Structure 1
Amino acid sequence: MRTIDLRSDTVTLPTAAMRQAMCNAELGDDVFEEDPTTIRLEKMAAERMGKEAAMLVASGTMGNLVCVLSHCRRGDEVILGDRSHTFLYEAGGIAAMGGVHPHTIANQPDGTLRLEDIAGAIRADNVHFPRTRLVCLENTHNRCGGAALSPRYIEQVAALAHDHGLLLHLDGARVFNAAVALDVNVEELTRHVDSVSFCLSKGLSAPVGSLVCGSKEFIYEARRNRKALGGGMRQCGIIAAPGIEALEQMIERLAEDHDNARRLAEGIAEISGLLIEPERVQTNIVYFDVAGQTISAEQLVATLAHKGVKILQVGPARLRAVTHYGIGAEGIDLTLAALEQVTYR
């Protein structure tokens, strides 16, 4: 039986070209900054993001942690959304590893933080308070349904942060999804931030890895923090090689995932017992809810799994499906058919 796995875009498998690139990669020792394939990927990433330099890390979580550690000292404070990935899903790393205090403010449904809320969260210069050092945004925003933050909004937040002597980090795990959805060059979304991290292993379908990008001075500090976290890698060109392939070949096709997400959302809207706002689906993430008492979210997930469809439960009645490479319109239609069977049983 075919399995349609919509739990996350992290389940994507590398393409044949990526596997071949791994076999053919020219290698060296990256801790000595002598791996030519990694150097090529980092240069490519920096150019795409409009930054001076970049560094390969093992994961998006490591990327965000390295960025916060490189911007902040122990006892500093970072302003971030209460539904942000860094706050909810990164094991409290900024506090546990960096002694950095998270100051959360409410994410709006479109993934933004209100400018007045950011301004209100900036601490006064007082010995009783931690020093506000950094603002973090997320684009696209996972828990806000894959919402894409606009270049204008990011520019406004950057201006506010910089006017107060703060820095701005962008968790851009799916920033290429945002660029495709908004039909802009990705650099327009990163131009005004002080650092950005993005994932290779989600919609871009590489097997592992993320990039951290910023100024040369920032990346110098980031390399030290990566090493302290145990993230220095040796012949990591085997990781970098499929990442290069991802950046060269896998970005434009993200539009297919967005189309499939809308197809899924519009189909779910027609199924009795499920609640969704299809107009809110902007990229490749679809959230919906189980209504009433006919079937619980837990039961729905389990029953779908028996039919070969995997989705993720993220709340008592809330579910998530993420479209990605390897699942086309046929897979979406099979998913909708399975959902209808389960809810009408």
Structure 2
Amino acid sequence: MFWAGCIYGCKNDGERFGFFCHAALEFLQQSGFHPDIIHCHDWSSAPVAWLFKDHYMHYGLSKSRVVFTIHNLEFGANNIGKAMAYSDKATTVSPTYSREISGNPLVASHLHKFHGILNGIDPDIWDPYNDTYIPVPYTSDNVVEGKRAAKDALQQRLGLKKADLPLVGIITRLTHQKGIHLIKHAIWRALERNGQVVLLGSAPDPRIQNDFVNLANHLHSSHSDRARLCLTYDEPLSHLIYAGADFILVPSIFEPCGLTQLTAMRYGSIAVVRKTGGLVDTVFDVDHDKEKAKAQGLEPNGFNFDGADPAGVDYALNRAISAWYDGRDWFNSLCKKVMEQDWSWNKPALDYLELYHSARK
């Protein structure tokens, strides 16, 4: 059941995860460990909700409450719908995504128990002061020096021109959800503005992967000193890109929460995002969202755009690159500012505790 060579995408996913859910509940039953809250996530552990309510609850696990979190409504709709019905409380990973999916029939009849709570990042894993993958440790105090050293190292490692140019980083799975037509357009736009572009990511769909391989070959011959597409998964390189890039682009078509923009800010990179899901709740446009940021007790921290067409991504990216060229002192102070914002689990954890208490009542 469990050494199948893959986690998702095996022929018997439902069977394997169903078995796992059963085993988890059986373990609680047999061990006599009776938790206050059983918190299950997405389609893969959704069966816990009904297995618990239909069976285990009557055999001594009576005081537990079930909380269910939707991370992405695109997968496993049947399981998600059933778990929504059976759970005591339900959440998803950002307030805006909770509103975006509130009309979905799987969710619509359960809004009374449905909450949007933002995901956080782990500041110990994503910590430019203690990161072995980058050349110079830095905090918000020496962000300019730290990022300059990382950019040099990134340019050297990928064979790009060693120059002080605006560098746009893209770290993503290459799927339609992530806005691949906007990514392609943004690459060309950044190059037109004499910037550099580094993309790290691969596509589960061989056709999309092949498409990007062709684009990579084209760019590596036409703009070899300013563009590099690394079409693979590479954890160490992702750290170097977060540290060495000036901007991280996230033009997702939908994005329940998004951790990329949060990690980017932890490294003092400026997020350029499409206004959807959790991106709306975390990236406040320096030109348009001053009031909105203030309401959250924050200062504006990036660039965003509406729509899903090239004009939209141009609008945000052009303003971002112009800001880099026109006012480096201002830009550097923005990098310092975003590093000091807290996108860890500190606040979301309190929201979850509150939710758990209300579930127990």
Taking structure 2 as the reference length, the TM-score comes to 0.28
- Higher strand proportion (structure 1 or 2): 1
- Higher helix proportion (structure 1 or 2): 2
Taking structure 1 as the reference length, the TM-score comes to 0.29
